Structure 1
Amino acid sequence: MTDQPPPARRLALVLGDQLSFELASLRGLDPRQDAVLLAEVREEVTRVPYHPKKIALIFSAMRHFAEALRRRGFRVHYVTLDDPDNCGSLPGELVRWADRLRAGEVHLTECGDWRLEQSLCHCGLPLVWHADTRFLCGRAEFARWAADRQPLRMEFFYREMRRKSGLLLDADGAPLGGGWNYDGQGRKPLPAGVEAPMAVRFAPDVITREVLALVGSQFAGHPGVLDGFDYPVSHGEAQALWQHFLDFALPAFGDYQDAMASGEPFLFHARIGAALNIGLLDLRRLCADVEEACRSGRVSLGVAEGFIRQLIGWREYVRGIYWLQMPDYATRNAFGNRRPLPAFYWTGQTRMNCLRQTIDQTLKHAYAHHIQRLMVTGNFALLAGIAPRQVCDWYLAMYLDAFDWAALPNTLGMAMHADGGYLASKPCCASGQYIRRMSDYCASCAYRVSESTGEQACPFNALYWHFLMRHRRQLEANPRLGMVYRTLARMPETRQQALWRRGEDLLARLAAEDGL
Structure 2
Amino acid sequence: MTHYHTLRVILGDQLNAAHSWFRQKDEGVLYLIAELHPEATYVKHHVQKLCAFFLAMERFADGLTNAGHRVCYLTLDETVNKKSDEIAPQSHEQVMLSIAAQHQISRIELQRPDEYRVLQHYQAFIDRHESDNESALSVSMVDSEHFLLPYDDIPHYFKPSATVRMENFYRKMRQRFNILMTDEKQPEGGQWNYDSANRNKLKAQDLAAIPEPLCFQHDVTSILTRLERHQITSIGKAHTSLLWPVTSQNALLLLDYFCEHLLPNFGRFQDSMTSKTPHSWSLYHSRLSFAINCKLISPKHVIKAAMNAYSENDEIDIAQIEGFVRQILGWREYVRGMYWVNMPNYQEQNALNAERALPSYFWTGDTKMHCLSSAIGQSLDYAYAHHIQRLMVTGNFCMLTEIQPAQVDEWYLGIYVDALEWVELPNTRGMSQFADGGWIASKPYAASGSYIQKMSDYCGSCHYKVKEKTGELACPLNSLYWNFMVKHRERLAKNPRIGMIYGNWDKQSDAQKHAVLDRANWCLEHLDDL
Scaled to the shorter chain, the TM-score interval is: over 0.9
- The aligned amino acid for 2:9 is L
SS of structure 2 residue aligned to 1:184? helix
Quote how far apart the aligned CAs of 1:425 are: 0.8
The alpha-carbon deviation at position 218 of structure 1 amounts to 3.9
Match of 1:93 among 76, 92, 95: 95
Q: CA deviation at 1:27?
A: 4.8
Number of aligned residue pairs: give it. 506
- Distance change >3 Å, CA 29–CA 42, structure 1 → 2: farther
Spell out the pairing of 1:359-378 with structure 2 (5 A cutoff). 359-378=376-395
| Other-structure match for 2:12 | 16
Most deviating of 69-78 and 124-133: 124-133
Corresponding residue for 1:152?
A: 164
Give 1:319 shift.
0.2
CA contact (8 A) 2:479 2:519 kept: yes
Residues of 2 paired with 1:378 and 1:148: CA distance? 24
**Equivalent in the alignment of 1:184:** 196
Bigger mean CA offset, 261-270 vs 222-231: 222-231
Q: Equivalences for 1:233-382 in 2 at 5 Å?
A: 233-262=246-275, 263=277, 264-298=280-314, 299-382=316-399
- Measured in 2, the distance between the counterparts of 1:347 and 1:323 equals 33
Percent of counterpart pairs with the same letter?
A: 38
8 Å contact kept, 2:161–2:439: no
Structure-2 separation of matches of 1:40 and 1:231: 18
Q: Structure 1 residues 29 and 348, CA, compared in 2 at 3 Å: closer, same or farther? A: same
More off after superposition, 117-126 vs 391-400: 117-126
SS at match of 1:488: helix
| Map of 1:230 onto structure 2 | 243
| Amino acid in structure 1 at the alignment position of 2:250 | E
What's the CA shift for 1:269? 0.8
Could you say which residue in structure 2 is the equivalent of 1:444? 461
TM-score, normalization by structure 2: 0.92
- Higher deviation after alignment, 113-122 or 69-78: 113-122
Which amino acid is 2:26 matched to? P
Does the aligned pair in 2 maintain the 1:216–1:226 contact within 8 Å?
A: no
Q: How much has 1:413 moved relative to structure 2?
A: 0.2
Q: In structure 2, what is the Cα distance between the partners aligned to 1:148 and 1:446? A: 45
Letter in 1 for 2:3: P
Cα separation, partners in 2 of 1:149 and 1:62, compared to 1, 3 Å: closer
Q: Specify the code of the residue in structure 2 equivalent to 1:41.
A: L
Q: Provide the C-alpha distance between the structure 2 equivalents of 1:379 and 1:30, rounded to a whole number of angstroms.
A: 50
Work out the CA distance in 1 between the residues paired with 2:107 and 2:90.
Answer: 23
1:200 aligns with 2:241: no
CA offset at residue 164 of structure 1? 1.8
Q: For 1:10 and 1:104, locate their aligned partners in 2 and report how far apart those are by CA, in whole Å.
A: 6
Task: Say whether 1:404 aligns with 2:404.
Answer: no
Q: Is the contact made by 1:379 and 1:430 (CA closer than 8 Å) also made in structure 2?
A: yes
Aligned twin of 1:483: 500
Shift of 1:150: 5.4
Give the match for residue 35 of structure 1.
30
CA distance in 2, matches of 1:366, 1:31: 39
User: Which whole-Å CA distance do the structure 1 matches of 2:306 and 2:107 have between them?
Assistant: 40
Match of 1:82 in 2: 77
Name the CA distance, whole Å, in 1 between partners of 2:435 and 2:159: 22
CA-CA distance at 1:29 after TM superposition:
5.6
Stretch moving more, 228-237 or 46-55: 228-237
Q: Give the CA deviation at 1:174.
A: 2.4
Question: 2:37 is matched by which residue type in structure 1?
Answer: R
1:470 paired with 2:466, answer no
SS at match of 2:204: coil
Distance 1:55 1:32 in 2: 31
Query: Aligned equivalents of 1:93 and 1:47: distance in 2?
Result: 17
Q: What corresponds to 1:133 in structure 2? A: 145
| Mapped contact 1:232–1:275 kept (Cα < 8 A) | yes
| CA apart distance, 1:216 | 4.6
The equivalent of 2:510 in structure 1 is 493
Give the AA of the match of 2:154. Answer: F
Aligned-partner residue type, residue 407 of structure 2: Q
Corresponding position of 2:41? 46
User: CA-to-partner distance for each residue in 1:6-65, whole Å, 9 max, x for gaps?
Assistant: 2322211100011011235x2566421111111100101111100000000000000000
CA distance in 2, matches of 1:419, 1:489: 28
Distance in 1 (alpha carbons) for counterparts of 2:178 and 2:62: 35
SS at match of 1:256: coil
Distance in 1 between the 2:428 and 2:161 partners? Answer: 23
* One-letter amino acid of the structure 1 residue matched with residue 266 of structure 2: F
Structure 1 residues 163 and 95: alpha-carbon distance in aligned structure 2, compared to 1, 3 A threshold:
same
Structure 1 position 375, deviation (Å): 0.4
Moved more, 108-117 or 83-92: 83-92
Distance in 2 between residues matched to 1:405 and 1:396, nearest whole Å: 10
In the alignment, structure 1 segments of 5+ residues that lack a partner are: none
Shift of the 53–311 alpha-carbon distance from structure 1 to 2, 3 Å rule, reads: same
**2:245, 2:230 → 1: CA distance?**
22
For the residues of structure 2 that align with 1:494 and 1:322, how far apart are their CA atoms? 45
Q: Give the secondary-structure state (helix, strand or coil) at the position aligned to 1:407.
A: helix
**Is residue 36–residue 79 contact of structure 2 (8 Å, CA) maintained in 1?**
no
Secondary structure of residue in 2 paired with 1:255: coil
Tell me by how many angstroms 1:167 deviates: 1.3
1:217–1:191 Cα change, 3 Å: farther
Is 2:459 aligned against 1:429?
A: no
Looking at structure 1, the residues matched to 433 and 175 of structure 2 have their Cα atoms a distance apart, in angstroms, of 31
Deviations 1:445-499 (A, max 9, x none): 0000010110000000000000111111222212211111222222222211111
The separation in 2 between residues aligned to 1:149 and 1:390, in whole angstroms, is 22
- Residue 457 of structure 1 corresponds to 474
Of 291-300 and 301-310, deviating more is 291-300
1:203 is aligned with what amino acid?
Q
- How far apart, in 2, do the equivalents of 1:357 and 1:28 lie? 46
Asked if 1:395 is matched to 2:390, the reply is: no
Asked if the contact 2:166–2:330 (Cα under 8 Å) also holds between the matched residues in 1, the reply is: yes
The 3-state SS of whatever aligns with 2:108 is: strand
